[in-house]
Chains A and B, each alone.
Chain A
Amino acid sequence: MAEIRDIKLPMTEEDVKSLKLGEMITVSGLLFTGRSRLHIRAIEDNIYPPIDYEKINCFFHVGPVMRQEEDGEWKVVSCEPTSSIRFERYGADVVRKFKLRTLIGKTTMGPATAQALKEVGGIYLSKIGLSGNALKDQVKKVHDVYFLDELGKTECTWIYEVDHFGPFFVAMDSEGNNYFEDLAKEAESKMPEIEKDLGIPAGYDYTEVNAK
């Protein structure tokens, strides 16, 4: 397999354009973390971490396990990307608000986020397998934390400095294409044959008991 490219954060427009759907990469630089609460608060309440989003422009969807050492330093015990599709309601607004070029998470996101990524020139990276233990070692430094008291260790925003973080693969490119959409269509097209093999009559439907 070809060498896995490492891309510096924040990504440039050229970086983003050069990334192909399905390509595996690692990233190095600064990123910020968050999940449901960050999305909801940023859009509904206009409350978000006061960071420079041009410099820290990669949003990592994660609820890490964090431990505070005796000297007060925070250590990442494990960080497994969390399911991004859950954030679809606010995904596009967050991408536009912070002009995010890089999202990292698990699974995929929907068409609204794809459109927003296309507008700002951003991509969405999805995780490869389960890799929380490797990822935690690639976090070189925990720079800062926001809203720890209010949101707790899992939902708050951490600022990580990462080195060769990943690998992840390009699940949504900056043209609005989604890696999983083709696959879903393929699976869907196989369903009639599979149902036939299972002995399900063509055109079968469940008994309907509600007014239509």
Chain B
Amino acid sequence: MIRRETIVEAMYNAIRLGATKMPPDIRRALQNALKEETDPMAVKHLEVSLQNADMSEKGNGLVCADTGFPMYFIHAGAKTQLEGGFGILKECAEEATARATAECFLRPTMVHPLTRKNPGNNVGPGMPKIEVVFDRDDDSLEILAAPKGGGSEIFGTFYRMMFPADGEAGIKKFVIECIKDACYAGKVCPPAIIGVGIGGTADLCMSMAKKAALLRPIGKKHTDPEAARLEKELYEASRKLGIGPMGSRGINAVLAVNVDVAVTHTAALPVAVNAQCMVGRRWIAKIDGNGNIDYTGEME
């Protein structure tokens, strides 16, 4: 049985670490990009950003001040038991988010969409966002906290319902245009991770795009060879745009293109794009059945 206070503790630390550390795979990818860029401005953008991440790690500062949308992606097992039942996950996430905000690890950014009122704690209808999947066979609970930045969400979200006749050409045209638009003037803080969802319903399509951008380590390819081929072709195409870090002149507009697919209606071809910014914020708390918590920035 995992205790309620353990869950809150794990969520709080995961989102705090997510806001203050750059995941190791993202850092490695940015260092590789730095080796490739030659334009002085492109180089400076990356140098400054990596220094900034070092500073936040040392002094508990933030890798970026816009800590954005608080989100928790949770995996549970068939034997996982939570004190109070699974229904408590929402209030645990609210408590952890409010605490991290009060302690200035998250900026109070969530407001009501119509009144624009800011409750000051990042908690309100629908936020923090939590998603639970039961895909383990043990008694563990794994929580990935992802504070997702505004720039990447606001300027990096695209959806198009296409038709079977639009074919692969339509998918590719749509995605490469999205990359060009998202990276113009550094809107999504490139080098970005581009998530692409193909198929499903509109909401599943977008959710796949978001998860492909947020939850996959850099360098990991899709297991479906057709999806993996698209990832490679689109990534290589993005490097020919002439757009580099923060929209400067360069090569690395993108660190990775991650595609995910779902079966869809025989009459439809929905495609969604969601970008993650260069800080790629996410951190994981793994709780075992005895309540021991392990934190890591490395993803499998």
Contact = CB atoms under 8 A, between A and B. Distances in A.
Interface centre among B49, B67, B247 (most CB of A within 10 A): B247
A128 B233 contact: no
Nearest to A62: B65
A184 B184 contact: yes
B65 A80 contact: yes
Given A67-B104, A183-B249, A206 B44 contact: no
Contacts of A209: 163
B185 A108 contact: yes
Contact of A129 (B45, B107, B150, B162): B45
B64 A198 contact: no
B241 A190 contact: yes
Nearest to A36: B116
B238 to A, nearest CB: 9
A190 B151 CA distance: 25
Nearest to B249: A183
Contacts, number: 171
Contacts of A131: 48-49, 51-52
A85 interface: yes
A186 B162 CA distance: 28
A49 interface: no
B170 interface: yes
B118 A152 contact: yes
A47 interface: no
Contacts of B165: 207
A151 B33 CA distance: 39
B139 interface: no
Given A80-B64, A187-B242, A200-B173, A130 B278 contact: yes
A83 B64 contact: no
A191 B243 CA distance: 12
Contacts of B46: 129
B180 A191 contact: yes
B87 interface: no
A51 interface: no
A201 interface: yes
Contacts of B279: 130
A1 interface: yes
A187 B163 CA distance: 28
Interface in B19-65: 40-41, 44-49, 51-53, 55-56, 59, 61-65
Interface in B148-188: 150-151, 154-155, 160, 162-163, 165-166, 168-170, 172-174, 176-177, 180, 184-187
Query: Interface size class for chain B?
Result: 35 or more
Interface in A133-192: 133-134, 136, 152-155, 167, 169, 171, 180, 183-184, 186-188, 190-191
A208 B216 CA distance: 34
A133 B185 contact: no
B154 A83 contact: yes
A106 B61 contact: no
Interface residues of A, number: 58
Nearest to A75: B104
Interface in A69-125: 77-80, 82-83, 85-86, 106-108
26 contacts: A63-B107, A65-B62, A65-B65, A65-B104, A77-B65, A83-B151, A83-B187, A126-B185, A129-B46, A129-B49, A131-B52, A132-B62, A132-B65, A136-B61, A153-B107, A153-B108, A154-B108, A155-B118, A183-B242, A186-B249, A191-B180, A194-B237, A198-B169, A198-B176, A200-B172, A204-B173
**Shortest Cβ-Cβ A-B pairs, 10 listed:** A129-B48, A129-B49, A80-B65, A78-B65, A133-B55, A107-B185, A129-B45, A108-B185, A78-B62, A133-B61
Given A80-B65, A129-B52, A197-B237, 14 more contacts: A67-B104, A78-B65, A82-B150, A83-B150, A107-B247, A127-B246, A129-B48, A130-B64, A134-B48, A154-B108, A195-B173, A198-B173, A199-B172, A207-B165
Interface of B: 40-41, 44-49, 51-53, 55-56, 59, 61-67, 104, 107-109, 116, 118, 120, 150-151, 154-155, 160, 162-163, 165-166, 168-170, 172-174, 176-177, 180, 184-187, 189, 233-234, 237, 240-243, 245-249, 278-279
